Structure 1
Amino acid sequence: MTEPTGPLKGLTVFDLTRVLAGPTCVQMLADLGADVVKIEKPGSGDDTRGFAPPHMPGTGESAYFVGANRNKRSVTLDIATPEGQEIALKLIAQSDILVENFKVGALAKYGLGYAQLKERFTGLIYCSITGFGQTGPYAPRPGYDSLIQAMGGVMSLTGEPDGAPQKVGIPLADLFAGLYGCIGILAALRHREATGQGQQIDIGMLDTHVAWLANQGMNYLATGENPPRLGNQHPNIVPYQVFATADGFMVLSVGNDPTFERFCKEFGLAHLPADARFATNAARVQNRQLVTDTLAPVLKQHPTDWWISRLEALKIGCGPINTLEQVFADPQIKAREAVREMQHSSGATVKVIANPVRLSETPADYRLAPPLLGEHTDAVLRERLGLSEAALADLKARGVV
């Protein structure tokens, strides 16, 4: 195994997660140097191994699985068996962190619930990521990204004013839950460093979803009124939206009144800032449709590239609406090395999206490509538990690993 180099080097993670929220959390820890043992069910593994097509070329692995499971070692283990539970407990005894996203109470029947482990492993940091958290009337329910987007309000805010509610095009409820889980783990590590005491981190996807309602959530708390769907417009800033150009679309982001004045002066609209309906951002928000109707014909006069070059020269926020092909070809994305290549155990090279946390002294590393199912079972059980070849063969024959 290639030695980790990140700031979490020396920490070990017992990973009982699958699909996306949990694996996202653990991949962040792994990228930053933690040694992760990913526990998977023999024969099937993480559900996302079957979320295909597409597969990563030459690997047989789903693109979905590859996206959230690098820098992890895969161990197949049936925790429903007494022998599997015994092995799990021995591995947990050597772990700093356990992350799981089973339904509330599901791990208790295997003797692996937090209440069952906290006295035995007093320094263990135990992160549980579920749909609705460990308490409350919805705690037993399963959580799914689109369900959480619906219940958490974001779908009511997303879409055209006269259209149907829309979910965001990527599973943000899962991703945010994973990232908040990682933040909680890092805070718990700091507490353990000071006191020696572990703790449980209770992450509910609905909780984290409500937390990132941000300005829209605060708009409701301030007024008691449900914010309307505004399509591609901003609820608190105008103009800050999509406009059609002569050959497509672009985003114009005018963040303050001096910027609006600069825009108007440059593009034949110098009279607008003197008009009370346009003079301040608050006035423009109140007269949103008038502002849009006034600017739309102007933006339509020239192609997107023309606008981008001139607006950037004026330091006015703007940008094209890129396809993913254009995103990954963008010179800024390339300069930031947002795509990395890793050598997969199949022999193929796989592309992965890089970790965005750029640390100057202890950067994320890319030491292990996403694993084949059970790829590291023998190595981990020999290394951690000292099992012999005969013992491993026996466990395999009985379906424990």
Structure 2
Amino acid sequence: MTVTEKLNGYGPLAGIKVVEMCTYVAAPATVRVLSEMGAEVIKIESFAGDTQRTQGPGFGCELTDTEDPTIDLNNTNKNWVSLNLKDPEGLAIAKKMIGEADIFMNNMRTAALQKLGLDYETLHKEFPGLIWGQMRGYGEFGEFAHSPGYDAVCWAARGGVAGTFPEKDTSPAIPPQAFGDYNTAIMMAAGLLGALVNKLRTGEGDKVVVNLYHSAIWGGSIGLCAQQFGADYPKSRTNVPNPFNNTYKTADDKWLYICQPQHNRYYNDMMKIIGRDDLVDDPRFATIENVKAEHRQPELITILDEGFAKKDLEEWLKILAEWEVPSQKVFRFTDILKDDEAYVNDAIRKVKYDAFGEHALPTTPIRFAGYGDPPIILSKPIGYHTAEYLEKFGYTPEQIAELEEKGAVKCYHGEEVPDTIFKSERQEKGEAACNW
């Protein structure tokens, strides 16, 4: 039984077929979004597998022959086929699978795609209803069109993230690995779904392209606009444009983030909150226009620093909630991993490994009322479903063995890996339906 059959028609994309030739993060994560909406996904790997399979040990996440928590991050609910695209028969099988798909998603170099006949122009002529998606580091034109791309260089470095996020006059920020990849994956999924709607209306496929550099620029829209009007980045927290949108250290050495964008409307409230009634209606600080004109941000931030330093974080959170000031503790990943809010809303789901025990797996963020929290089945070893899918295409066991002997396909011959479906916390408690 394939993973898709195990999911029993779950999701708004049930019946939609996706063939994936993707490695690392952004592109496979795009397809994970579709797989958790119920699409049937055939992930075609080389005999060596998705390069992401090599990444876990780099940050202490080991893997076994059947379990890999790193590959699970981008590859839930997929079916695993391994083909040698350099072999004519292996490539022919891939073409058959693509020909039956609604979407073909890749992040291969354009030159390699053209050499294999998997480029958009070639496949569109052969399969005019196919949606062809490509995740790129940079755009299709210009000096970097054919350069390799990772989120660290395309998104974080050239996209301005590393240079604008840190405190001013400090070293560039080092964002967590693949932070830009996961954001860009949602954008790519949106593009594919837009093309799918058009295909269902017209029968015509399309080419969908997203790149990491553009994704970073889109995410930096407000900063890029503000930069053109004199707001230079990076900034120091002691000199931000609006002191009410800033971080402050509390008496217990924790950091609080407040976001009160309407300075003029809430100035008096903020002064009362920190116990500075003497500054109510003070013309030096009461309007953001005056604060900016007289460059009084550092002075007002010092006043706020002194105020927030007088109470512990939990006291401030209660006070700010009473005044309806949007605020939060500045979390680290250690805080998120034990945050009930993340689990009850299924942003993180517990999964169990034979070798590693229970671990937290982030989920894709889109939810449909008609389907509820998606089922999650973890990844499989290379070539786990190769034989099963070849049989669906009419190959006999003897022919499959011959293809494997010739080096055209790779089949899995290890121990069976159960299709365990992991439920959300609320589903486990019987508080939410399992619509599969």
What's the TM-score once normalised by structure 2's chain length? 0.85
1:151 aligned to 138, 158, 169, which one? 158
Distance 1:158 1:233, change over 3 A: farther
Question: What displacement does 1:71 show?
Answer: 0.8
| 2:49 alignment counterpart | 45
1:110-149 equivalences in 2 (<5 Å):
110-148=116-154, 149=156
| 2:193 alignment counterpart | 186
Contact 1:238 1:281 in 2 (8 A): no
Question: Deviations for 1:141-169, whole angstroms, at most 9, x for unmatched residues?
Answer: 11111111211222221211121222433
Identity level (%): 24
1:7 aligned to 8, 12, 25, which one? 12
| 1:203 alignment counterpart | 210
Distance 1:166 1:55, change over 3 A: closer
Report the secondary structure of 1:242's partner residue. strand
1 CA distance for matches of 2:32 and 2:367?
Answer: 15
| 2:307 alignment counterpart | 298
Contact 1:14 1:37 in 2 (8 A): yes
Distance 1:204 1:355, change over 3 A: closer
1:205-224 equivalences in 2 (<5 Å):
205-221=212-228, 223=229
2 CA distance for matches of 1:181 and 1:68?
Answer: 14
Contact 2:56 2:63 in 1 (8 A): no
| 2:29 alignment counterpart | 24
Give the partner amino acid of 2:49: G
Report the secondary structure of 2:337's partner residue. helix
Of stretches 230-239 and 47-56 in structure 1, the one that deviates more from structure 2 is: 230-239
Give the partner amino acid of 1:324: F
Give the partner amino acid of 1:379: E
2:105 aligned to 99, 102, 112, which one? 99
Question: What displacement does 1:62 show?
Answer: 3.8
| 1:395 alignment counterpart | 403
Runs of 5+ unmatched residues, structure 1: none
Contact 2:56 2:62 in 1 (8 A): no
Distance 1:266 1:235, change over 3 A: closer
| 2:283 alignment counterpart | 276
Contact 1:33 1:364 in 2 (8 A): no
Question: Deviations for 1:94-118, whole angstroms, at most 9, x for unmatched residues?
Answer: 1000000012222111111111110
Report the secondary structure of 1:271's partner residue. helix
1:235-384 equivalences in 2 (<5 Å):
236-248=241-253, 249-256=255-262, 257-285=264-292, 286-342=295-351, 351-383=360-392
Give the partner amino acid of 1:389: P
Distance 1:350 1:156, change over 3 A: closer
Give the partner amino acid of 1:319: Q
2 CA distance for matches of 1:246 and 1:214?
Answer: 35
1 CA distance for matches of 2:21 and 2:237?
Answer: 39
| 1:228 alignment counterpart | 233
Question: What displacement does 1:13 show?
Answer: 0.3
Give the partner amino acid of 1:393: A
Of stretches 63-72 and 342-351 in structure 1, the one that deviates more from structure 2 is: 342-351
Report the secondary structure of 1:274's partner residue. coil
What's the TM-score once normalised by structure 1's chain length? 0.92
**Count of equivalent residues:** 397
Distance 1:374 1:57, change over 3 A: closer
Q: CA RMSD for the aligned pairs?
A: 2.3
Report the secondary structure of 1:252's partner residue. strand
1 CA distance for matches of 2:403 and 2:241?
Answer: 61
Contact 2:239 2:297 in 1 (8 A): no
1 CA distance for matches of 2:355 and 2:380?
Answer: 9
Contact 1:71 1:367 in 2 (8 A): yes
Runs of 5+ unmatched residues, structure 2: 410-436
Question: What displacement does 1:329 show?
Answer: 1.8
1 CA distance for matches of 2:44 and 2:126?
Answer: 21
Give the partner amino acid of 2:371: T
Report the secondary structure of 2:207's partner residue. strand
2 CA distance for matches of 1:334 and 1:207?
Answer: 32
| 2:89 alignment counterpart | 83
Contact 2:16 2:39 in 1 (8 A): yes
Contact 1:241 1:251 in 2 (8 A): yes
2 CA distance for matches of 1:343 and 1:163?
Answer: 40
Contact 2:138 2:211 in 1 (8 A): yes
Question: Deviations for 1:86-139, whole angstroms, at most 9, x for unmatched residues?
Answer: 001100111000000012222111111111110110000000111112222211
